[in-house]
Amino acid sequence: MTGNSFGVAFKITTCGESHGGAVAVIIDGCPPGIVISAEEIQAELDRRKPGQSRITSPRQEQDKIHILSGLFEGKTTGTPLLLLAYNADMRPEDYEALKKVYRPSHADFTYMMKYGRRDFRGSGRASARETLARVAAGAIAKKYLREQLNLEILSYVEQVGSLRADINHQTVQAAAIEANIMRCPNPEWAEKMIQLVERVKNEGDSIGGIIKCVIRNIPPGLGEPVFDKLPADLAKAMLSINAAKGFEIGSGFSSADMRGSEHNDPMALKNGKPGFSSNHAGGTLGGISTGEDIYFRVAFKPVSTIGKQQQTLNQDQEAILLEASGRHDPCVLPRAVPIVDAMAALVMIDHYLRQQRMKLGSSD
């Protein structure tokens, strides 16, 4: 099975299934000397784990992280790191009735078509539980970027269903994001969103929405044209997240309604350095960072598992009606926020380290 690794200079490889023994990640290319502890990684994982509020999956997993290699005396050694969290609250018997059923909008059918077999226990490898590994690796990336560049990554829920909050990404702060269970920094809109999710949950349904991310204090010059452009890698990273269906950076799709005279970002000196008086581009030009904030939006679909009856097929191609049950999020957005953070951090550290290597090479 390919497609389990991400990154070039800072490369992660994840493994594990929803109801297997554990979920793990190997990090290759991590710089030596980073002071990191299991507790720091755990803080990020606790933002992602199930059972954290009344609008998330009730599955009870502590997601306790174990650092099995690549760390000595509290610092990274430069050799591969192995991070692992054992699964605990597993109920594979809940899926026995679905052994031969293709659940609507899940990966059941496509995994069977690709591999000729599938792990029917909670979607196996296709489960969002795999993202635990990404968040663990992202915690290390975030700390390195913060210490080296003072780089800050903030993601938050901007929209649930048709409810879109009025939030200025230029001024949003981490404390406001974590102030409520929706992770929407506008408290009034957060309450409306929570009520909507609870109503949808009680109806046996699910709902999607949009997460916005802003990355601050980025040095200019990061990005590897032409195929590894910074926004292209950010797009790939975000669309690799379970349930992600759309990505736009800067003015995104709204730029289609603009003219060049409206969309162009005029250049000007800012604090004695070249800068821009607007940022429709979203912090990149030609696939390379400009030094302005990078901001983008990621659209997430409604969770596929719902309590309403749906038409589907089984592996014998027989039509059946399915009313799913189990422990699922009615809305993925609150738990997806730290995943977006992590994937953004993994892209940024990878491109920063690639740029550092290029500088070293050019000095010879």
More confident residue, 358 or 335: 335
What whole-number distance in Å separates Cα of residue 4 and Cα of residue 271?
43
Largest distance between two CA atoms of the chain: 70
- Predicted confidence at residue 1, as pLDDT, reads 53
- Predicted confidence at residue 118, as pLDDT, reads 86
* CA-based torsion, 236, 238, 244, 250: positive or negative: negative
Q: Which residue has the tokens 């793990």?
A: 24
pLDDT tens digits along 181-211? 999 999 999 999 999 999 999 999 999 999 9
- Residues contacting residue 152 through CB under 8 Å, at least 6 positions apart: 146, 215, 216, 217
Q: Which residue has the tokens 């990191």?
A: 36
pLDDT tens digits along 283-335? 999 999 999 999 999 999 999 988 889 999 999 899 989 877 666 789 999 99
pLDDT tens digits along 80-92? 999 999 998 666 6
What whole-number distance in Å separates Cα of residue 155 and Cα of residue 132?
17
Contact 102, 312 (CB under 8 A): yes
**DSSP string covering 65-97:** EEEEESEETTEE-SSPEEEEEE--S--GGGGGG
* Three-state DSSP state, 219: coil
Asked whether residue 337 carries a pLDDT value surpassing 90, the answer given is: yes
- pTM, rounded to two decimals: 0.95
Contact 5, 11 (CB under 8 A): yes
**Topology classification of domain 5-362:** Chorismate synthase, AroC fold (3.60.150)
More confident residue, 363 or 118: 118
Domain ranges of the chain: 5-362
* Three-state DSSP state, 160: strand
**Residue 29's closest CA among 12, 46, 6?**
12
Exposure of 159 in the CB half-sphere (CA atoms within 13 A): 14
- Based on its alpha-carbon atoms, the radius of gyration of the chain, rounded to whole angstroms, reads 21
More confident residue, 104 or 362: 104
